[in-house]
Amino acid sequence: MPKELCWVRLKGSTQEAFPELLAEAESLTTISVPPVHNYNDSGASAGYWQGLNATAVGQYMEYTVQVPKSGEYSVYATNRVASNKGIYQVSVDGTSVGIPNDQFQSTPGFKEAPIGNILLNSAGNHTFRFSVTGKNAGSSGFTLGFDNIRLVKSQEVYNEALSLTPIAVPSFTDCNDGAASGGVWQHLGATGLGQYIEYSIVILEQGTYSIYASTEKLIIKVFTALCGWSRRRSTVRPIPSCIGFQNIPV
């Protein structure tokens, strides 16, 4: 019977001295095509938001954010929403994060949106680029606007199974499925007890972690113990029913 793994997540209990960074868009060093403008608005945090009068897909604004500590962060952007706004994709240091975000809204305002999780391997400056990828059918333009960017330091290490390179006995395959996080899950073609799939996960801080795995159809018990940070072998424990994707504490 197949045993299938979607992702592995570790939840830490270490305490962080630096939990959050809020950067006002209008105060960040920006490069853009075309040039940006700052707009005074009492509804914006710190009284201003920054706009890009984009006219086409591919135009962008890029912020340099100084991050004081390496680690994993959840990224949020407070959008300037309006009837002339476009759809954008975020990339951090050149790597796409999350899915496209639509700033179109018939009534102007500000709305914070979750962008996605990033892993920064070093403190210091990092680039956050917001690129126009399209526009809502109801929108009159491709312009973008941002009030601020918020980074929340995560105490979780979240790994899409696809992003890891497992060792599997007898073998594994990547399977596309829109219901899986990241659109892909990994299938271990096990034929008997004792066979396994093994992931190597980078952990930046030592601590005590609870471990979760998202699975389909059959429960996999992943990582019976973690105390150092290297490879740990998973074991499998099938149950004879389809339960769908879910988070399972191990």
Write out the residues near Ca ion by the rule CB under 5 A: 24, 44-46, 48, 147-148
Q: Are 98 and 87 in contact (CB under 8 A)?
A: no
Pairing of strands 109-120, 172-176: unpaired
CA atoms within 13 A on the CB side of 131: 15
Looking at the Cβ atoms of 31 and 46, the one nearer to Ca ion is 46
How far from 235 is each of 4, 11, 180, 248, CA to CA, in Å?
12, 20, 21, 14
Q: How far is the CB of 93 from Ca ion (least distance, A)?
A: 23
CB 104 within 8 A of CB 62: no
The least CB distance from residue 186 to Ca ion, in Å, is 42
- Least Å distance, CB 38 to Ca ion, is 9
| Complex with Ca ion: residue 48 or 229, whichever CB lies closer | 48
**How near is the Cβ of 187 to Ca ion at its closest, in Å?**
46
- CB 80, min distance to Ca ion, A: 9
Location of structure tokens 């312009």: 143
* Smallest separation (angstroms) from Ca ion to the CB of 150: 11
4 vs 24, which CB is nearer to Ca ion? 24
Considering beta carbons, is residue 146 or 199 the nearer one to Ca ion? Answer: 146
| Residue count of the chain | 250
Our CB check for Ca ion shows the closer of 78 and 234 to be 78
User: Coil, helix or strand for 141?
Assistant: coil
Could you check whether the bond before residue 170 is cis, i.e. omega within 30 degrees of 0?
Answer: yes
**Nearer to Ca ion among residue 102 and residue 147 (C-beta):** 147
Q: What does the angle CA 190 – CA 193 – CA 201 come to, to the nearest 5 degrees?
A: 65
**Nearest CA-CA partner of 25 in 116, 144, 168:** 144
